[in-house]
C-alpha cells in the first residue's frame, strides 16, 4: 500500500502545474500573514515565501534547476508585470517634467554606486571573474539583469539569486533608513526604493501610497535601462569584458 502511494511521487513533483500551484499558494499565504501583521517589513511575502519554498524543495529532494524549469512561466510574467508599472507612472507625468534634472543625477549616482559597490565588495572577498560578472547587474530588475549577465558572460542563475537578495534587503531596509535620515518625501522614498530594490521594492512601495509606488516604478525602469547600458562599459574598463 505504501509503495503504491509513493510510486507516482517522482512524476508528480516534476509536473510544472504542481510547482506553480505550490509557489502561488505559498505566496498567497505569506501575503495574508504580511497583511495580518500590518505589513511588517520582516514578513515581506517574497522573503517568507522563498524560505518556505526552499524548505519544500529540500524536503522533497527536488533540485533547484528542476524547480526553475517547472516554474518558467512565472519568470515569463515578470516582463509584462514590469511593463504594466508604466500605468501608475503615467499619472505622475506633470511632476516628472518638473523633476527630470535631480532624477537624472540620482539615477546616475545610484546606478554607478550599485554596480561598483557590488564589484568592489565581491573582489575584496576574492570572488571569481564569473561571480563578478554575475553580480554587476544585480540592482536592475531581474529580466534585464539576467540578459546583461548572459551578454557579459556571467551566470544567469547566480544573477537571479543576487537580484532576489538585493530586492528583499532593499525593501526591508530602505524605508527605515530614509526615515532615520528624516527624509519623508514620497517621491524620494519611491525612487530610492525602485532604484535599489527594483520590482520587490516597488511592490513594497505601492503598499505605502500611489505616489511612492509610481516613482519606485520610475526608478526601477530607468535603472534597468541605465544598468544595461553602463555595466558592459564598466566591466570593459576593469578588464573583465570585451566587446
Placement of cell 518625501 in the chain: 185
Q: Please compute Rg for the chain using Cα positions.
A: 19
Per the prediction, the chain carries an average pLDDT of 85
What is the pLDDT confidence band of residue 214, given thresholds at 50, 70 and 90? confident
* Residue-wise pLDDT tens digits, 101-137: 999 999 999 999 999 999 999 999 999 999 999 999 9
Q: What is the mean pLDDT of residues 212-221?
A: 88
Residue 31's Cβ-side half-sphere holds a number of Cα atoms within 13 Å equal to: 9
Rounded CA gap, 45 and 96, in Å? Answer: 30
Rounded CA gap, 185 and 198, in Å? Answer: 19
Residue 99 has a pLDDT of 85
Residue 138 has a pLDDT of 92
Q: Look at phi and psi of residue 183 and say left if phi exceeds 0, alpha if psi is from -120 to 50, else beta.
A: beta
What is the pLDDT confidence band of residue 229, given thresholds at 50, 70 and 90? very high
In the structure grid, which three cell numbers stand for residue 41, read together?
A: 517589513
Residue 11 has a pLDDT of 60
Please state the separation of Cα 155 from the chain's center in Å.
Answer: 16
In the structure grid, which three cell numbers stand for residue 220, read together?
A: 526601477
Percent with pLDDT over 90 in the chain: 30
Closest to 203 in 3D by CA, of 174, 176, 229, 162: 174
Q: What is the mean pLDDT of residues 88-100?
A: 78
For residue 80, pLDDT beyond 60: yes
In the structure grid, which three cell numbers stand for residue 92, read together?
A: 505622475
Rounded CA gap, 89 and 211, in Å? Answer: 8
* Residue-wise pLDDT tens digits, 4-59: 444 455 666 667 788 889 999 999 999 999 888 888 878 888 889 989 998 988 88
Percent with pLDDT over 70 in the chain: 92
Rounded CA gap, 74 and 79, in Å? Answer: 10
Amino acid at each position: 500500500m505504501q509503495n503504491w502511494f509513493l510510486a507516482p511521487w517522482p512524476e508528480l513533483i516534476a509536473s510544472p502545474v504542481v510547482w506553480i500551484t505550490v509557489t502561488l499558494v505559498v505566496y498567497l499565504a505569506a501575503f495574508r500573514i504580511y497583511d495580518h501583521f500590518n505589513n511588517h517589513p520582516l514578513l515581506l511575502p517574497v522573503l517568507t515565501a522563498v524560505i518556505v519554498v526552499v524548505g519544500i524543495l529540500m524536503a522533497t529532494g527536488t533540485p533547484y534547476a528542476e524547480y526553475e524549469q517547472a516554474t518558467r512561466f512565472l519568470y515569463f510574467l515578470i516582463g509584462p508585470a514590469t511593463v504594466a508599472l508604466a500605468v501608475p507612472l503615467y499619472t505622475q507625468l506633470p511632476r516628472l517634467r518638473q523633476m527630470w534634472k535631480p532624477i537624472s543625477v540620482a539615477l546616475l549616482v545610484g546606478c554607478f554606486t550599485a554596480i561598483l559597490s557590488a564589484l568592489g565588495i565581491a573582489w575584496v572577498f576574492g570572488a571569481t571573474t564569473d561571480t563578478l560578472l554575475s553580480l554587476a547587474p544585480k540592482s536592475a530588475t531581474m529580466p534585464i539583469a539576467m540578459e546583461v549577465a548572459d551578454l557579459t558572460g556571467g551566470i544567469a542563475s547566480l544573477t537571479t539569486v543576487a537580484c532576489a537578495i538585493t530586492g528583499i534587503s532593499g525593501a526591508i531596509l530602505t524605508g527605515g533608513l530614509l526615515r532615520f535620515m528624516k527624509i519623508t518625501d514620497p517621491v524620494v522614498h519611491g525612487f530610492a526604493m525602485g532604484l535599489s530594490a527594483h520590482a520587490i521594492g516597488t511592490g513594497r512601495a505601492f503598499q505605502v501610497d500611489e505616489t511612492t509606488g509610481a516613482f519606485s516604478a520610475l526608478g526601477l525602469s530607468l535603472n534597468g535601462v541605465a544598468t544595461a547600458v553602463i555595466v558592459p562599459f564598466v566591466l570593459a574598463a576593469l578588464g573583465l569584458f570585451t566587446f
